[in-house]
Structure 1
Amino acid sequence: MATSREPLTRDRIVDAAVRLIEREGVEAVSMRRLAAELGAGTMSLYNHVPNKALLVDLAAERIMADAQPYHVDSDDWRDHIRAHARAVRQLAKRHPRAFVMLATRRLSTEAGIRTIEAALRNFDRAGFRGKEAVGMMRAMVSYLLGTLMREVATSPELGGIALSPYEDVDASRFPLSGEVLDELGTYDHDQEFEFGLELLIAGLERYQS
Structure 2
Amino acid sequence: MRLIEREGVEAVSMRRLAAELGAGTMSLYNHVPSKALLVDLAAERIMAEARPCHVAGDDWRDHIRAHAHAVRALARQHPRAFVMLATRRLSTEAGFRTIEAALRNLAKAGFRGKVAVGMMRAMVSYLLGTLMREVATSPELGGIALSPYEGVDASAFPLSAEVLDELGTYDHDHEFEFGLELMIAALERYQEPD
TM range (shorter): over 0.9
In the other structure, the counterpart of 1:112 is 95
**Larger mean Cα displacement after TM superposition, 163-172 or 135-144:** 163-172
In the other structure, the counterpart of 2:73 is 90
In the other structure, the counterpart of 2:15 is 32
CA RMSD of aligned residues (A): 1.1
How far the C-alpha of 1:19 sits from its partner, in A, is 1.2
In the other structure, the counterpart of 1:45 is 28
| Structure 1: 4+ residue segments shifted above 6 A | none
Q: Is the 8 A contact 2:51 2:98 kept in 1?
A: no
How far the C-alpha of 1:125 sits from its partner, in A, is 1.6
Q: Is the 8 A contact 1:170 1:178 kept in 2?
A: yes
In the other structure, the counterpart of 1:122 is 105
**Larger mean Cα displacement after TM superposition, 129-138 or 36-45:** 36-45
Q: Distance in 2 between matches of 1:25 and 1:102?
A: 13
Q: Is the 8 A contact 2:46 2:82 kept in 1?
A: no
1:36-68, Cα deviation, whole Å (9 max, x unpaired)? 111111111111111111111111111211114
| Residue 189 of structure 1, aligned match among 149, 172, 194 | 172
TM-score, length-normalised on structure 2?
Answer: 0.95
Q: Distance in 1 between matches of 2:190 and 2:22?
A: 57
Q: Which runs of 5 or more residues in structure 2 are unaligned?
A: none
Could you say which structure has the greater relative contact order, defined with CA pairs below 8 angstroms and 6 or more residues apart?
A: 2
What one-letter code is carried by the residue in structure 2 that aligns with 1:118?
Answer: A
What one-letter code is carried by the residue in structure 2 that aligns with 1:31?
Answer: M
How far the C-alpha of 1:126 sits from its partner, in A, is 1.5
1:78-98, Cα deviation, whole Å (9 max, x unpaired)? 101111111111111111000
What one-letter code is carried by the residue in structure 2 that aligns with 1:67?
Answer: A
Q: Which runs of 5 or more residues in structure 1 are unaligned?
A: 1-17
Which secondary structure does the structure 2 equivalent of 1:117 belong to? helix
In the other structure, the counterpart of 2:41 is 58
What one-letter code is carried by the residue in structure 2 that aligns with 1:40?
Answer: A
What one-letter code is carried by the residue in structure 2 that aligns with 1:177?
Answer: S
Q: Distance in 2 between matches of 1:20 and 1:35?
A: 11
Q: Name the % identity.
A: 88
Aligned positions, number: 192
In the other structure, the counterpart of 2:121 is 138
Is the counterpart of residue 19 in structure 1 residue 21 in structure 2?
no
